[in-house]
Amino acid sequence: MTDRIFLSSPHMSDEGYEMQYVQEAFDTNWIAPLGQNVNGFEQELAEKVGSKAAAALSSGTGALHLALRAAGVDEGDIVFCSTLTFSATANPIIYQNATPVFIDSDHETWNMCSKALEEAFGKYPNVRAVIVVHLYGLSADMDKIMNLCNKHGVAVIEDAAESLGTYYKGVQTGTFGDYGVFSFNGNKIITTSGGGMLVSDNKERIAKTRFWATQSRDSARHYQHSELGFNYRMSNVVAGIGRGQLKVLDQRVEKKRYIYQFYKRELEHLDGVEMMPTNEWDEPNYWLSSMTLKGNVRPIEIMEALEKENIEARPIWKPMHKQPYFEKYNFVGTDVSEQLFENGVCLPSDTKMTDQDLEKVVKIIKNLW
């Protein structure tokens, strides 16, 4: 397994920052609960992204769930949701017994199409919240989306699980809406082995989120609960890994960009190849370098050729409105996200890849033409 080239795998700092924080947790016996690393990680991440407050949680999925609760989403409410995403974006809508309406992508950003969103507001004026995803580290067009959502007075939750280090017009994605969600799952640009963060400028709501995430314990000596609780808090050991990883985030983004530019230079001229879109207002973190194929070579051929050499590649996310579980819910749009799924492939984008590795991948792909 060690010589396998991955799409994106954990990459700890050369300096051992993560172990220093973890060691500190061991030395002080702050293994659990909470502790200095949790507080430190929350403050350092909030500062890095430019949010007033952050809550460290056990996963990005948990953060999305509590964001929906914080936004007041409840049984029977409608929530607009990007269709081209990982299922973790949509699942929490169901946890809240709310109803998703899936929104198509546009070609320019691969993310939520503002025209489809506008159409959706016309069809479902009583919508409660919008979850907009920044896919593969590409920014959604936040000016257009925020304008529409503000006009309709609807809460915005940004799923920035894949876009830590991505800037839209100079501002970190995940900080435009009422709530932003980051993930530190093993495949993300930085990882804590597993974990998530909810950010917001609303300190009070973040404090409430921490309360919900620790079983909603009222301040009483006996165990008293006036609200439904969850066990969603990040552990102090895990947060130590996060604090160390945050120190190398910029380095990781730099390497991801290098990988993307390598592929672009080597592959873009091949017949039918189109690299994922970059817009002048977008500074992506290039979490996964992806491309679409319009010619004779199909994504499956690339994935199979790479797999033979022990190299991982994957299709683009299958849209939620095409998933067996979610297809019963409504969808607004055309076939943009479906086409991206049919024609797209995510290339190995692991930050530990050497130039030799990149050359190997490129050579295997070029051989198919």
Ligand X SMILES: *Cc1c(COP(=O)(O)O)cnc(C)c1O
Catalytic residues: 188
What are the CA-CA distances from residue 167 to residues 253, 284, 322, 346, 358 (Å)? 11, 6, 30, 21, 26
Q: Name the residue number minimizing CB distance to ligand X.
A: 60
Tell whether the torsion through CA atoms of 90, 96, 97 and 101 is positive or negative.
negative
Q: How far is the CB of 88 from ligand X (least distance, A)?
A: 4
- To ligand X, the closest distance from the beta carbon of 86 in angstroms equals 4
CB 350 within 8 A of CB 6: yes
> Which candidate, 158, 135, 136, 161, places its Cα nearest to that of 145?
158
Nearest alpha carbon to residue 103 among 332, 282, 305: 332
Each as own residue / partner, the long-range contacts of residues 200-206 (CB below 8 Å, 24 or more positions apart, any chain) are 200/51, 200/52, 200/53, 200/54, 200/70, 201/51, 201/52, 201/53, 201/175, 202/52, 202/53, 202/70, 202/178, 203/52, 203/53, 205/70, 205/179, 206/53, 206/54, 206/55
Closest separation between CB of residue 162 and ligand X, Å?
A: 5
Tokens 């220093």 map to which residue?
20
Residues that bind ligand X (CB under 6 A): 59-61, 85-86, 88-89, 133, 159, 161-162, 183, 185, 196
Q: In angstroms, rounded to a whole number, what is the distance separating the alpha carbons of residues 359 and 134?
A: 28
CB 341 within 8 A of CB 84: yes
Give 162 or 178: the residue with its C-beta nearer to ligand X: 162
What's CA 201's distance to the chain center, in Å? 19
CA distance 113 to 140: 8
Q: With respect to ligand X, which residue has the nearer C-beta, 114 or 191?
A: 191
Are the CB atoms for 252 and 190 separated by under 8 Å? yes
CB of 47 to ligand X, least distance (A): 21
Within 10 angstroms of residue 28's Cβ, the number of other Cβ atoms is 12
Q: Looking at beta carbons only, is 90 or 297 nearer to ligand X? A: 90
Nearer to ligand X, 72 or 186 (CB): 186
Q: How far is the CB of 36 from ligand X (least distance, A)?
A: 23
Compare residues 86 and 102 and give the one whose CB is closer to ligand X: 86
Residue 349 CB, shortest distance to ligand X, in Å, is 13
CB of 287 to ligand X, least distance (A): 9
Nearest residue (CB) to ligand X, 141 versus 273 = 141
Closest by CA to 315, choosing from 290, 352, 336, is 290
The residue (of 56 and 297) whose beta carbon lies closer to ligand X is 56
Q: How many CB atoms lie within 10 A of CB 314?
A: 15
C-alpha torsion 222→226→230→233, nearest 10:
-60
